[in-house]
Amino acid sequence: MQVAIEKPALPEDGALAVGVWEDRTLTPSAASVDEAGGGALTRAMESARFTGKKNQTLTLFAPAGGTWSRVVLVGLGKADDLDTLACQEIGGTVAGQLLKSGETKAALMADPADEGGPDAATMAANMAHGARLGTYRFDRYRTRDKDEDTPSLETFAVHTRDVDAARQALAGLDSVAEGVFLARDLQNEPANVLSPEALADRARDLKDLGIGVTILDEAEMAELGMEALLAVGRGSERESRLIVLEYRGAGSDVPPIAFVGKGVCFDSGGISIKPSANMGDMKWDMGGAAVVLGTMRALAGRGAKVNAVAVIGAVENMPSGAAQRPGDIVTAMSGQTIEVTNTDAEGRMVMADCITWVQKHHDPALIVDVATLTGAIIIALGPEHAGLFSNDDATAEALAAAGRAAGDPVWRLPMGSGYDEMIKADFADMKNAGEREAGSIQAAQFLQRFLDEGRSWAHVDIAGTTWAKKDKPTVPKGATGFGVRLLDRWVHDAREQG
């Protein structure tokens, strides 16, 4: 579906969507349609109990006084409550309702409030952005969809009085959307398609955007002593990979920020095998890697003024005669030893070597890692927030603010020496998993042990937010790409130079 910004005039045909403020206050566009139809909109609202609450919709088919196939009334809510995220939801709501309606062409009129709410350009750009996000589909393996299940909508235009500014704003948002879509595509791919090698190939595609890509194979990682990462992938017939991406948008003297992503392309649990129910969901255990790749895609696409390096440990955790066992002790790249108490606590071992590698080779200003790391975070926060852990209050606060602004909210959890005692091992420097209590915090404490002294760091556990079980206005059911908008907004607000 193509999304565009157009002039404020009402279109002549197709589906038309107009806004209504709460308490049935018509926007200028809606008032024009109502007048042309002899008050048809007003009568329809009264009979349908439509009040204009945000995202509420009401459809009139082939209304009198116009040549449109249908008119959709969409609730804008209260002007003071209409922010950019609300605009995105409204755009996603309208486009989602029309996507499979049989309509091929639709227009949404963006009429800003006289007081309060975003300006015309911001309103229109974010409505268009929401329409793109909300109509994402992963259909590459469908071969027999019925007509009513097939998208019909080909063009979606948002009309505004400030066309040039809206188009400029949308261009930047489009780069973010492309990053979100890359992450969603990767998270949705089945594990028989997206192996560690295939994930590395997808990373190479980003070279066209000016991103440097380096791939290390198992032999190269073995020479570097990355035994924690390699131990996780040892049970699989598919080789592990270390994926490194570099983007330079600032001066050569500016130290990079580092993103580290967990890329477990399938997680069976290894010898500590998971229950069979819902194990298929573990194809998206590489969600952190997908987010990191999507973030780098977004930064490069909009020409962000920042230097960034991304490191992804791509592995597959499978049970076999070669797999690591509970009770094994491995030596990580940092030289620290890990007693493996549970082979299903594998992601943190992968991340540990990635964190060590990026510190040794790039000396980043700070590190943000993203991972579907623990089931415990799902129990704690559900699907509404990702878990945030950090050793730096300023970084944590900036990430939390970015999450609120971007619609990818995070919630900070505590860390401390008492929690660190939970991963004290009997026969090694640490164990990879303790008892059930505070499981997400234990994982964060484990990762923190691999940081150089004084290194600022944040860990985002997206296990509960990577997959949506139902449709939302800007996030269709399935892979969410949660984290791309968070990190892009954080870079924009807190890290860009110049």
44 backbone dihedrals φ, ψ, rounded to 5°: -65, -40
Q: Measure the CA–CA gap between 93 and 130, rounded to whole angstroms.
A: 8
pLDDT of residue 348: 98
SS3 percent helix, strand, coil of the chain, rounded to 5, is 40, 20, 40
CA distances from 373 to 19, 264, 410, 426 (A): 42, 10, 15, 24
Q: Measure the CA–CA gap between 89 and 127, rounded to whole angstroms.
A: 7
- Exposure of 190 by Cβ count < 10 A (0-12 exposed, 13-18 middle, 19+ buried)? exposed
> What value, to the nearest 5°, has the Cα angle with vertex 455 and ends 449 and 459?
65
- For the chain, list the domains and their CATH numbers: 2-160 (3.40.220.10), 177-495 (3.40.630.10)
pLDDT of residue 498: 53
pLDDT at 454 over 90: yes
pLDDT at 252 over 70: yes
- How would residue 382 be classed by pLDDT, with cut points 50, 70 and 90? very high
pLDDT at 333 over 80: yes
pLDDT of residue 196: 98
- How would residue 334 be classed by pLDDT, with cut points 50, 70 and 90? very high
pLDDT at 421 over 60: yes
Known catalytic residues are 274, 348
Average pLDDT taken over every residue of the chain: 97
Q: Two tokens at 441?
A: 């915090």
Q: Of 196, 309, 319, 316, nearest to 256 (Cα)?
A: 309
pLDDT of residue 144: 82
405 backbone dihedrals φ, ψ, rounded to 5°: -70, -35
pLDDT of residue 104: 96
Among residues of the chain, what percentage have pLDDT more than 70?
100
pLDDT tens digit sequence for 1-17:
999 999 999 999 999 99
Please tell me the least confidently modeled range out of 44-48, 51-55, 139-143, 241-245.
Answer: 139-143
pLDDT tens digit sequence for 387-412:
999 999 999 999 999 999 999 999 99
330 backbone dihedrals φ, ψ, rounded to 5°: -120, 155
CB neighbours of residue 85 within 10 Å: 17
Beta strands in 341-385 (DSSP E): 366-371
Please tell me the least confidently modeled range out of 25-34, 111-120, 168-177, 480-489.
Answer: 111-120
Q: Of 16, 23, 83, 92, nearest to 51 (Cα)?
A: 23
pLDDT at 484 over 60: yes
Q: Two tokens at 214?
A: 């380096």
- How would residue 210 be classed by pLDDT, with cut points 50, 70 and 90? very high
Among residues of the chain, what percentage have pLDDT more than 90?
96
CB neighbours of residue 167 within 10 Å: 17
Question: What global pTM score does this model have?
Answer: 0.97
Q: Two tokens at 320?
A: 């076999």
